[in-house]
A and B are shown apart, each in its own frame.
Chain A
């Protein structure tokens, strides 16, 4: 299936895009993250959480949606 992935903050700087579509056949969220690690090796060093269809999910969650977001924490104020 095709998955739309959105990147925020520092993650978008690393991927050099705010959004992309990926063809992916894995089953759980962590597999997708592993795939992204292969594509963007520096992503591994970044702190982020995953949202699927606008809901925060754990790495062990089954991939059910087409909409994924990588959310880093922001420090600034």
Chain B
């Protein structure tokens, strides 16, 4: 009897489907809590070629959830220890261990060798690296992430679908969101989330079922509540990654953490009160906006003029194009000045919007 009999007798899979699984090449990044169940099920299912990337070694505190390891593999590299265990599970497939760190330098070349990439990493730096490298190498990404008792699953970059950056455009500030080693995690949770990721991989290979592309599944192990959030592709976000394709391999991993800045459109503020408009352009820059009450604080003088900020009001900061205003908000956030946001539009656009708004209101009279 065939090893894959229980797949083959399913009319939805059959021998043809099992052949597709045998021909698939899947790369799993991270052989930890998520990586272990992902690898276990993909190996058992007979995925023909599996790559495992992990530079870390097995620690006693991993054994509570990382089910491929045991006391005999303590101290061993995780990619190699996983390969050893998985080869016993299935000796008919090819497994390659990459016992090294994934970097901007090696990611894209490595991804080109596989059909599907699976994210089982435990930090934002690597998650954004994996996401961007998938966009650049045009590979589908099966994403999973966990926090204590909750998990998220999705498929990114699949047939022109959204990417992780279409949900969270920038990595959070370093240290602002803890990982499992800092706050703990229910051992079964990565088992559930990792098995869901393996399930999505198989669905991509077999091209059946409803895939999680364009959807983020949020699972709570305590309440057993599942929410599926629809997400759409941001072409602008994807293009901004592709724009840096040529220099991607030179990027340093630590440089990607930026502060999140709230960006608001001026149009949405026209009817609002309690807003202080702050022009952070230098004094000589034109056009001036006379029809709006504006506080002028040039960016170069920002930190010396904090007293001009009205602490009772929301501060809408603008410049010529929206770039310096974003930087100003970053500076203010670091100084713990609250209620600041950057305006999407520059001064000329703001002026046009005000003129048009006045026309509409006087016509209405």
Interface residue ranges, A against B (CB under 8 Å):
6, 8-10, 18, 28, 30, 34, 37, 44-47, 49, 51, 54-56, 59-60, 69, 71-77
Task: Say yes or no: B147 contacts A75, CB within 8 Å.
Answer: yes
Task: Say yes or no: A56 contacts B268, CB within 8 Å.
Answer: no
Task: Say yes or no: A77 contacts B32, CB within 8 Å.
Answer: yes
| Stretch from B100-108, B171-179, B294-302 contacting the other chain | B171-179
Task: Give the interface SS of chain A, mostly helix, strand, loop or mixed.
Answer: mixed
By a CB distance below 8 angstroms, the chain B residues around A69 are: 218, 227, 229
Top 6 nearest A-B pairs (CB, nearest first) are A74-B145, A77-B122, A74-B147, A47-B172, A76-B180, A76-B146
Q: In the complex where A30-B268, A44-B338, A56-B229 touch, is A74 in contact with B150 (Cβ < 8 A)?
A: yes
By a CB distance below 8 angstroms, the chain A residues around B220 are: 8, 18
By a CB distance below 8 angstroms, the chain A residues around B173 are: 47
Task: Say yes or no: A75 contacts B218, CB within 8 Å.
Answer: no
Cβ of B185 under 8 Å from chain A: yes
Task: Say yes or no: A47 contacts B152, CB within 8 Å.
Answer: no
- Complex Cα spacing A72 to B218, Å: 11
18 contacts between A and B (CB under 8 A): A10-B177, A18-B220, A30-B264, A34-B314, A37-B339, A47-B177, A54-B229, A55-B231, A56-B167, A56-B231, A59-B262, A69-B227, A74-B145, A74-B151, A75-B145, A75-B177, A75-B178, A77-B35
Q: Apart from A73-B172, A77-B145, list 13 A-B contacts with CB within 8 A.
A: A9-B148, A10-B177, A47-B176, A54-B228, A55-B229, A56-B167, A56-B230, A75-B123, A75-B147, A76-B146, A76-B147, A77-B30, A77-B180
Task: Say yes or no: B232 contacts A76, CB within 8 Å.
Answer: no
